[in-house]
Amino acid sequence: MLDTHFRRLPGDVGNARTWPFPVQFRVVRGADPAAIVHGSPEVFLEPFIAAALDLVACGVRGITTSCGFLALLQKELAAALPVPVATSSLLQAPLIEAMLPAGQQVGILTFAAEALSPRHLAAVGVRAETPIEGLPPDSLFRRVYGNRGGISDPAELEREVVAAARTLVERHPNVGAILCECTNLPPHSAAIAAATGRPVFDIVGFIEWFARGLSPQSYR
């Protein structure tokens, strides 16, 4: 978990009630949104490894994170830990594109488009030319989830998110599915799908799939 203090809505990766199975959290102190999104996550590699190893020692069987920009650490964390690691929702992009009809592509909705670089995409196998749309820098969403203050107004947050998603599909009509990079976006995934008519993939659906692999359902 990043070092944050904002309200986490139901559906947010950091709200324990989001999950249909037990979860544990560890906060990596100093790894705030500015440091990870606009800084160098590599500086925090060892603290993230230490936090993950502590979780594993407590019985955790799979690791995820609370920020899609930690895609930059996917290979390093996977190499360092004894359990599977899914750092970022962006890992889904190649699979989503493989499922889409001919001529369609995935589009990414992100916290900060200006910060989501080709390096982030390459780290998890996403095509460099993938369409990307972010929330405006002066949006309430960026203020709240960037740890810069602001009242967490779910209705206003959803309005901003839906507007960004609509812009994404208007600019790129061949976007056949939307992938939410940001782990604070899933509370609004249903609204995004309703507004755009596209399937929406996010970190919550990804980790539910991930967890099912760790503990398959028995049908006996």
pLDDT along the chain (220 residues), means of 10: 94 96 96 95 97 98 97 98 98 98 98 97 96 97 91 94 98 98 98 98 98 94
Contact 200, 177 (CB under 8 A): yes
- What was the pLDDT predicted at 183? 97
Q: Distance between CA 174 and CA 210 in Å, rounded? A: 28
In order of 31, 86, 191, 208, the CA distances from 94 in angstroms are 28, 14, 24, 18
For 89-202, the fitting CATH number among 3.40.50.1860, 3.40.50.300, 3.40.50.620, 3.40.50.410 is 3.40.50.1860
DSSP string, 149-191: -----HHHHHHHHHHHHHHHHHH-TTEEEEEE-STT-GGGHHH
| Residues in a beta bridge with 64 | 86
Q: Which segments of the chain are extended strands (E)?
A: 63-64, 85-86, 105-110, 132-134, 175-180, 200-201
Residue 168 has which token pair?
């994404």
The number of beta carbons lying within 10 Å of the beta carbon of residue 163 is: 15
Contact 18, 52 (CB under 8 A): no
So where are the chain's domains? 16-88+206-214, 89-202
The gap between the terminal CA atoms of the chain, to the nearest Å, is 37
Q: Distance between CA 106 and CA 89 in Å, rounded? A: 13
- What was the pLDDT predicted at 148? 87
